[in-house]
Structures are given as C-alpha cells and as structure tokens.
Amino acid sequence: MNNPKAEALRAKLDVGRPALAMAAHNPLAAKLAAEAGFDAIWGSGFELSASYAVPDASILPMGTHLEMMRAIGEVQQAPVIADIDTGFGNAVNVAYAVPRYAAAGVAAVVMEDKTFPKDSSLRPGGRQELLPVGEFQGKIEAAKAAGDMLVIARTEALIAGLGLEEALRRGAAYAEAGADAVLIHSKQKSPDEILAFCRAWPGRVPLVLVPTSYPQLSFADVAALGEVGLIICGNHAIRAAVGAMRDVFRRILADGGIAAVEADIASVADVFALQGDAHMRQIEKAYLR
C-alpha cells in the first residue's frame, strides 16, 4: 500500500487500545479534533448534511462530500475516514468514487449495506432495506480493487431487526470479501446487542463501533472486549456546534448586546490562529516586495 495515511490508520487499529476518531463537518472542526488529540477524523455524511441543513438521505452530491474530505485532510495530519454511505450506488459507482477519495488523501472509506439512496440509521422510522450479501460483497471487492486505502464494511443488520446471527453472518461475509474492518451499529439505548455481537465475533478483522446511542459504554469498556480496533464519535462536532451557537444567539438577543457572551466564546485571536494567520504573515514578510 502506497498511502501513508492508510498505513498510519491501519497501525492504529489495535484491539487492545482502540483508535479514537472524532466526527467533523468542515476543516475547522477537523483541525480542532486533531488538536484535541484524536487519532483520526470521521468525515461524517450526517454532519455534512446537517451543516447544509438537509436530511442525511443521499441528497448532497458526491462531489460536495469529496471536496470536503480533501479540505479536511489539507489542514491537519490525522487520517481521514470518509463516510461514503452506500457508495453512491452500485459496485460501478463505488469503483468510480473510491479512486477519487484516494486521490484526495483519504485513508479509509466506510460503506454500509443498505440500498441507495440511504436513510439515516438513527432517524425514527427510517427505511432499513439491506442489500443481498453477495451484492454488497461485490461493492467491497470493487472498492478494494479501485483504491489504495482501507475499506470498512458497515452492516445495518441489527438496526433492520434481522438479529444477531444475521449480523454475524454478514460481518463474516464482508471480511471474507476483503473488508479491513467491520462496523456494527445499533440504535438501542443499551449496549447489550452490541456487546453480544462483539463477544460472538470470530475475530477475522477488527470491529468498529459508533456508540452514539449507548454513550454509557466507555472507551475502556470497549477495549476490554478485545475485538474493537476503532471507536467513532459519530456526530458530536455538529451537536456541539448547534448547542453552542443556539445558546449564544439566544443570550445575545435576551441581553440586548454581545458583552455578556464575550467571556464564553473563543477570542478573535484564537480564530486567527486556527486560520493560520501567522503563517500568512510570514509569507507576506518573506515574499511581498
């Protein structure tokens, strides 16, 4: 593999100490996540859709997500894991898309075994129609053949109500097709079915968890399972941004001014630093005559 970011991510998929990825919906969020010390950046389709104020239902075009992944990779050094949902269509679409993500510097893609267009896993009453196993194996194989990166296969079997045995069957089939890791997801409020899956997993490849619905499961609890190589904090950047902006906007109107919020928000100097303003000034000094 000639993708250094992909190799760096592979080295971090340690089932004894799972890597930690934080979601991002723009380069600023990604830079803050890397600054905080996360091992990788989750290029979340949900967060990007939310940042455009549209549903997470394959509404944004591939190019919008692709260019955001490129921009995220350019401003920080952590490997980028691109959430490409259902791969934008069938295996032909996957074979077209994946090389472009590799060219953008992405370390890994995550594909889910639902039909296109996708529907958000966490939306109440969301449509959960799964592809036949063989068809999704073809998409995995197309991704592996087309791109110099890791391919993480995500099964929605538990969310679709198909049960533990079907989830395990699908996960094993996806590993057999060449997936570098298997993401198992649940929207139950307790981690019980995820724990059952992890304990029954035969261990051919590392597992990936997104514990959004069961936050009581700590990183240490996950590591103790000995099967999970990556934990993704799947939507916390956009939720933090929404919560903080809503509170500040409300307070400004309620207070009739901006003075009261100044101590609670980032300084302009902090924002300048994140923008790379000092580096720009060095270039101006060195090259502008």
At 185 the pLDDT is: 93
Which structure tokens are listed for 174?
A: 């996806």
Residue 12, SS3? Answer: helix
Residues 60 and 33 both lie in one domain: yes
Pair 194, 270 in one domain:
no
DSSP state of 150: E
The pLDDT assigned to 122 comes to: 63
42 in the same domain as 11: yes
206 and 272 both lie in a single domain: no
Domain that holds residue 258: 242-287
Query: DSSP secondary-structure letter at 58?
Result: S
Prior bond of 117 cis (ω within 30°)? yes
Same domain, yes or no, for 249 and 137?
no
Query: Dihedral of the CA atoms 277, 283, 285, 289 (nearest 10)?
Result: -130
- Quote the CA–CA distance of 40 and 144 in Å, as a whole number: 20
Are residues 266 and 247 part of one domain?
yes
Q: How many other C-beta atoms are found inside a 10 Å radius of the C-beta of residue 277? A: 12
The pLDDT, as a whole number, for residue 124 is 63
- Catalytic, out of 56, 83, 85, 119: 56
**In terms of domains, do 35 and 83 share one?**
yes
Same domain membership, residue 227 and residue 114: yes
Q: Are residues 230 and 248 located together in one domain of the fold?
A: no
Residue length of the chain:
289
The predicted pLDDT at position 204 comes to: 87
pLDDT at 191: 95
Looking at 196, 220, 236, the residue that finishes a domain is 236
* Digitized pLDDT (tens) for each residue of the chain, 289 residues in all: 689 999 999 999 999 999 999 999 999 999 999 999 999 999 999 999 999 999 999 999 999 999 999 999 999 999 999 999 999 999 999 999 999 999 999 999 999 999 988 777 666 666 679 999 999 999 999 999 998 999 999 999 999 999 999 999 999 999 999 999 999 999 889 999 999 999 999 988 999 999 999 999 999 999 999 999 999 999 999 999 999 999 999 999 999 999 999 999 999 999 999 999 999 999 999 999 7
Q: How many domains does the chain have?
A: 2
What does the alpha-carbon distance between residue 186 and residue 278 come to, in Å, rounded to a whole number? 44
| pLDDT for res 209 | 98
Q: Could you tell me if 247 and 221 lie in one domain?
A: no
Residue 63 shares a structural domain with residue 43: yes
Are 129 and 268 in the same domain? no
CB 231, CB 20: distance < 8 Å: yes
Supply the CATH number for residue 200's domain: 3.20.20.60
Is 56 considered catalytic here?
yes
Can you give the pLDDT at residue 219?
97
Question: Token pair of 92, please?
Answer: 């032909």
Contact yes or no for 203/13 (Cβ under 8 A): no
Measure the CA–CA gap between 32 and 12, rounded to whole angstroms: 20
